[in-house]
Homo-oligomer: A and B are copies of this chain.
Amino acid sequence: MTLPNDLTLSDRTSDALTAAHLYYMQDLTMDAIAHELHTSRSSVSRLLSQARASGLVDIQIRSPLDATSNLEKVIFDRYHVTAHVVPVPDHASDVDRLDRVALSVARILGQYFDSNMTMGIAWGSTLNAISRHVTPKRTHNSQIVQLNGAGNMRTTGLDYASEILRRFGDAFGAHVEQFPVPAFFDDPATRQAFWRERGVIRLLQMQGRMDVALFGLGSPFSDVPSHVYAGGYLESEDFDALGRGGVVGDVATVFFRADGSTDGIPLNERSTGPDFAVLRRAPRRICVVSGSSKLASLHGALSARLITDLFIDEGAAHALCDGA
């Protein structure tokens, strides 16, 4: 029994690691582990929880060809996008769907993000849900950058967006770069002026260097409007203009039509989200969708080639495949 307390790791983490090894690699019962670690069974249970929650234990599903993979294959063939279909029962509510897709994304995200990488992150109910579950993974010299501003007439949006960003930053040990601007400027000229600020330029350059982008979809005219549309960011006249312009959705507050085009949509001139050309520079662009109400929006985003990896609930995936 050596007790040398080494500088690197706390006793607790070390015990958690040993416990995890004994439990997952050697199939001991918690009782047996408790005995080996000279502690109580409950403590072992807690150690293991911690080990899982802190990402010490990494559980993956190796999917050779599963039920959902038929859908995944169809989607790939049709849209050239790597799909991850999340099984969800038909009767699940929209909130359920969102939560369950988000949990799956949160669990798997570590496989996409690593040291020395930059990840761009949007905000909204989808990202919020994901952020609450991200499985931690230690990385070095990596960065999280906010894709679009979150302020509006009533709030700076900092509380909401920065909380989301912070959760990702904590989980990956990454530096977080916030974007403290409103979601939309009132005047396009203000935006242009801002965009000449050195601090802003630095952030935009960072967006240009993204390795991974993570975003949900906005869907203005569906039964379940997204955060942007319900949060007081848009005036009713803006809303009307979107309708007239044939807009079907947005990614990071940049709006697009069914064919994926963004030109001539006035609101985009005032938006702080990244031009799609910038977004498309990221080699991996992960889009998370739950609920069939976002289908029109999804079609648009696919046309705009915004997506390389799609996480989607089973129902919506079916709708996507059947629909077109």
**Chain A residues proximal to chain B, CB less than 8 Å:** 1-2, 4-9, 13-15, 17-18, 20-22, 24-27, 36, 55-68, 70, 86-87, 89-90, 100, 103-104, 107-108, 137-138, 318
Do A100 and B66 touch (CB < 8 A)? no
Contacts of A107 in B (CB 8 A): 25
Q: How far is the CB of A145 from chain B (nearest CB, A)?
A: 25
Is the pair A68, B18 in contact by a Cβ cutoff of 8 Å? yes
In angstroms, Cα B65 to Cα A84, docked, is: 32
8 more A-B contacts (CB under 8 A) besides A14-B67, A17-B63, A25-B103? Answer: A9-B64, A9-B67, A15-B67, A17-B61, A18-B66, A22-B87, A26-B104, A58-B62
Looking at the complex, which one of B20, B36, B55, B62 makes contact with A57 (CB distance below 8 Å)?
A: B62
Chain B residue at smallest Cβ distance from A13: B66
Closest 4 pairs between A and B when the two form their complex, measured CB to CB: A17-B66, A14-B67, A58-B60, A8-B65
Q: How far is the CB of A107 from chain B (nearest CB, A)?
A: 5
Shortest CB distance A73–B (Å):
10
Inter-subunit contact B62/A61 (CB<8 Å): no
Q: Smallest distance from the beta carbon of A152 to chain B beta carbons, Å?
A: 33
Judging by beta carbons under 8 Å apart, are B26 and A67 in contact? Answer: no
* Complex alpha-carbon distance, A4 and B26, angstroms: 31
